[in-house]
Amino acid sequence: MLRLIVRRILLMLAIALAVSALLFFTVTRLLGSPAEMMLGQDASPLAIARLNAQYGFDRPAVIQYLHWLGGALTGDLGRSYTTQQSVAAAIAARVPVTLELSLWSVALAVTAAVVSNTIPAMRRPLQGVVTAVNLVGITVPNFMLGVSLIFILSVKLNLLPSTGWVPWSNGIGAHLRHMIMPVLTLSAYYFGAFSIVYRAEYQAVIQRPFIQVARAKGLGEWRVAFRHAAPNAILPVITFVGISIGQLTGGAVVTETIFSMPGMGRLFVSSIESRDFPVMLAVGMLIVVGVVFANLLADIGYGIVNPQIRDPS
């Protein structure tokens, strides 16, 4: 297991380094001159030259990348071009919001998918309901689902606040009330996707001989389902969770915008609108590291659940 973790960490570092270079050259080169994008197409050549010299845009691309990477590795992500605020400070203030939203959404989606497709007494009677919810989650866009929840739960029923975010320090109840609709909105698609993957694997697992042996020993259906079938059927879901982190970040952008949450998604959108390259690079790199790290956790979780992975001999 230790060798597996070391190999995955080395691979993660190599992937993060390669993607960081691709991200940097894409933002600073393929999107056009940073100085021209910041000043506009009508800017004079003198103004562009001054801005290039001020921010080092006139240096070779490789030198710029190494300078940016060196600063990023030490925690110095530069300063925002628009607000002059430290990029690291701006991100640190918003990461907890997006991280909490993502973790709640993934936890809810995985738990609901596993439980709704495992409980033997409920699977057949509610299979049609679960299938319908899956289809709604997969097919209805995040923004439409979020707006619908606001209209129903806030405007019509007045049960939950429509937008905004309240920190834990202002009260647990108020905080959770503001989180319910964003979490439901973001987790809907993943519940449907995880449910489809889990159900297909579960149907295959319960046909295997070890399940028949467990039943022949007189074990109850609940124990067979949750002790023997579920740990094997959830393996593809664990992998899918790691792969879905990138999509989850994209969904968080929409969700945070709809519900006016001060998270990474809104920061990323505002940086694109203002051509704020340091913020764009930092947020993009953080997303890449998050995706790679999530895949590492998925690999480790896969090995914990499946002994054959951690002990291939």
Digitized pLDDT (tens) for each residue of the chain, 313 residues in all: 677 678 778 888 888 888 888 888 877 776 666 777 677 667 788 887 887 787 777 788 888 888 888 888 888 888 887 787 888 888 888 888 888 898 899 899 999 888 888 876 556 667 777 788 888 888 888 888 889 999 999 999 988 888 888 888 888 998 999 999 999 998 888 888 888 888 888 888 888 888 888 888 888 778 888 888 888 888 888 778 777 776 676 677 888 888 888 888 888 888 877 778 888 888 888 877 777 777 777 777 666 665 555 555 4
Distances (CA, A) of 244 to 37, 98, 112, 295, 299: 32, 15, 17, 9, 14
CB 165 within 8 A of CB 260: yes
Residue 191's nearest CA partner among 263, 114, 80, 118 is 114
Q: How many residues comprise the chain?
A: 313
Model pLDDT, residue 257: 84
CB 77 within 8 A of CB 85: no
CB 226 within 8 A of CB 288: no
Distances (CA, A) of 79 to 25, 46, 84, 171, 263: 19, 23, 5, 33, 18
Helices (H), the chain: 2-25, 34-39, 45-55, 61-73, 87-118, 120-123, 127-139, 142-149, 172-205, 209-216, 221-223, 230-233, 235-258, 264-273, 277-305, 307-310
Model pLDDT, residue 41: 67
Model pLDDT, residue 304: 67
* pTM for the predicted model, two decimal places: 0.76
CB 246 within 8 A of CB 291: yes
Determine whether 2 is exposed, middle or buried from the number of CB atoms within 10 Å of its CB (0-12, 13-18, 19+): exposed
Domains of the chain: 2-73 (no CATH), 94-310 (1.10.3720.10)
CB 238 within 8 A of CB 302: yes
Determine whether 124 is exposed, middle or buried from the number of CB atoms within 10 Å of its CB (0-12, 13-18, 19+): exposed
Look at residue 313 and give its three-state secondary structure. Answer: coil
Q: Which two tokens stand for residue 297?
A: 């956790």
